[in-house]
Amino acid sequence: KNRIDILGTQFDNFTEDQFHQHLDYDLDVNKNRFIVTANPEIVLAAREDKKFLKIINSADYVVPDGIGIIKGANSLGTPLPERITGFDTLKYLINSANKKHLKVYLLGAKPEVISATAKKIETDYPNVDLVGYHDGYFKEDQPIIDEIAEKKPNIVLVALGFPKQEYFIDKYRKNADAIWIGVGGSFDVFSG
Chain positions 73 to 102 lying near ligand UDP, rule: CB under 6 A, are none
Question: Which C-beta is closer to ligand UDP: that of 25 or that of 137?
Answer: 137
In the complex, least distance from residue 47 CB atom to ligand UDP, rounded to whole angstroms: 16
Q: How far is the CB of 56 from ligand UDP (least distance, A)?
A: 13
DSSP code string of 34-59? EEEEE-HHHHHHHHH-HHHHHHHHTS
DSSP assignment of 144-185: HHHHHHHH--SEEEEES-TTHHHHHHHHHGGGS-SEEEE-TT
Nearer to ligand UDP, 72 or 86 (CB): 86
* Total number of residues that touch ligand UDP (CB under 6 A): 14
The contacts of residue 100 (CB under 8 Å, 6+ apart) are 27, 28
Among 109, 130, 178, 181, interactor with ligand UDP by CB under 6 A: 109
Beta bridge partners of 181: 35, 157
Span near ligand UDP by CB under 6 A; candidates 4-12, 26-34, 95-103, 157-165: 157-165
Regarding 120 and contact with ligand UDP (CB under 6 A), the answer is no
- Residue 187 interacts with ligand UDP (CB under 6 A): yes or no: yes
Can you spell out the DSSP letters for 81-122?
S----HHHHHHHHHHHHHHHT-EEEEEES-HHHHHHHHHHHH
| 66 sits near ligand UDP (criterion: CB under 6 A) | no
Q: Is residue 68 part of the contact set for ligand UDP (CB under 6 A)? A: no
Among 38, 56, 84, 159, binds ligand UDP (CB under 6 A): 159
Contacts (Cβ under 8 Å, ≥6 apart) of 182: 35, 36, 37, 86, 158, 159, 160, 162, 165, 166, 168, 169
Distance CA 97, CA 162 (A): 24
| Closest separation in Å from C-beta 19 to ligand UDP | 19
Of 76-84, 106-114, 119-127, 148-156: span binding ligand UDP (CB under 6 A): 106-114
List of residues contacting ligand UDP (CB under 6 A): 108-110, 136-137, 159-162, 164, 184-185, 187-188
